[in-house]
Structure 1
């Protein structure tokens, strides 16, 4: 029986490593598009009824400085990984220990990452060209934290460069082992500014309580890399960004390192 990971469990949603387990019944347009996700399954009800949904727009009036926030300590390690065509996005799934981040005294371990295009979150009044999500789970797999990175077109992204050639092969396969995957580029990403709020998964079942951390510095990827990330996907998922959701009174916290030259958005 083929099941969408989202209706198995949160752990399955975050950890499924093969498109063999997916029977995706949602889309980004048409009758199964975002406006109707909540009607597609009882387990998707939060997509329509939730009050703390993602993505959102980062607007200055909703952002406040939280001096109690700390720099994100992250030290991701080399790890064996698998490139996966999840049908609705391209992901990299890890074997074994990759590294943790600590939020409010809880450790969250990195389990997988994936891309959306265009970006799902809106910053500085614009939607960007792509967005990377690094999905983390607590040890009891009950809590999710996502670190998001926004991209604009420009120089190639060294992170994606590690598996560019295999993206071509992914058009005919559902997953490909890519061996040792180096996350040093993420370790070096700016730690001087980030934005945090509590939201949801951006695909069904749209579960709430997800802690979002959006890094404050744009990365770049090339047009070729962006096209390669889209090429293996089903045509209805080549645009795989959920529309913006209402903030509903939520505040977005901001961490700002004293040596940062600007407090502006990306």
Structure 2
């Protein structure tokens, strides 16, 4: 298990739907863009509360360099408790993800509880390891009720055979329309995403979209998973 020693470098990438210029963040109604005059280089100037995007000191994502990490023997395996719940596939324009109609479960870090809010993908991945770009990145977004801070578990994927749970979700993509549309998925067993997590990188960073708030504990799973060819087929 590793603890990031410092912020390394900022990596901006287009998300799942790079053709969509305008977007709205996951937890609010704040508009921004990945393209043109409102793109990532100018996010910090769009609204005063977006300022951390330009002047923040702990911005995410980063390029993880193993020689700059510190082995922390005090870190414990992640404690996650997920349930089978009704779920809905959503299209936010800049990403596609899944939200829940019931309580999906939680994550405990240092005695603090974070509830799972949703999960979504970025294609290609946002984080890098030793400068390597991965095919996709899954974010499980958790939030603490006590102070509103976030804990995001990120899994990196390379292309290979399909993941059954995510293939089921991807099957719903053909029924998903444009921005701000949804498709019910029925019952999902979220525990299928509860990967063994004894080895991981962790650091304190930010949301990767405006307002780029620096109140996020990032947990990057050390194992790189096999990316779903079923998704690749849907893209073609």
Give the alignment's TM-score, normalised by structure 2.
0.83
Note if contact 1:26-1:40 (Cα within 8 Å) is conserved in structure 2. Answer: no
Deviations 1:139-171 (A, max 9, x none): 235111100000100011223112222101103
Which residue of 180, 194, 205 maps to 1:199?
A: 205
Q: Distance in 2 between matches of 1:209 and 1:112?
A: 17
Aligned counterpart, 1:26: 33
Aligned counterpart, 1:184: 191
The reply on whether 1:39 has 2:40 as its aligned counterpart is no
Q: Distance in 2 between matches of 1:73 and 1:66?
A: 17
Query: Following TM superposition, by how much is the alpha carbon of 1:23 offset from its aligned partner in structure 2, in angstroms?
Result: 6.7
Aligned counterpart, 2:87: 81
Q: Distance in 2 between matches of 1:94 and 1:110?
A: 9
Structure 2: gaps (5+ residues) = 1-22
Give the alignment's TM-score, normalised by structure 1.
0.74
Change (3 A) 1:128 1:142: same
Q: Distance in 2 between matches of 1:128 and 1:25?
A: 25
Number of aligned pairs? 213
Change (3 A) 1:35 1:5: closer
Structure 1: gaps (5+ residues) = 7-12, 17-21, 232-266
Note if contact 1:54-1:199 (Cα within 8 Å) is conserved in structure 2. Answer: yes
More strand by share: 2
Aligned counterpart, 2:150: 144
Q: Distance in 1 between matches of 2:32 and 2:44?
A: 12
Aligned counterpart, 1:132: 138
Change (3 A) 1:23 1:197: closer
Q: Distance in 2 between matches of 1:152 and 1:110?
A: 24
Q: Which runs of 4+ in 1 moved over 4 A?
A: none
The reply on whether 1:62 has 2:77 as its aligned counterpart is no
Aligned counterpart, 1:48: 54
Query: Following TM superposition, by how much is the alpha carbon of 1:113 offset from its aligned partner in structure 2, in angstroms?
Result: 0.5
The reply on whether 1:119 has 2:128 as its aligned counterpart is no
Change (3 A) 1:205 1:23: closer
The reply on whether 1:167 has 2:173 as its aligned counterpart is yes
Q: Distance in 1 between matches of 2:144 and 2:108?
A: 10
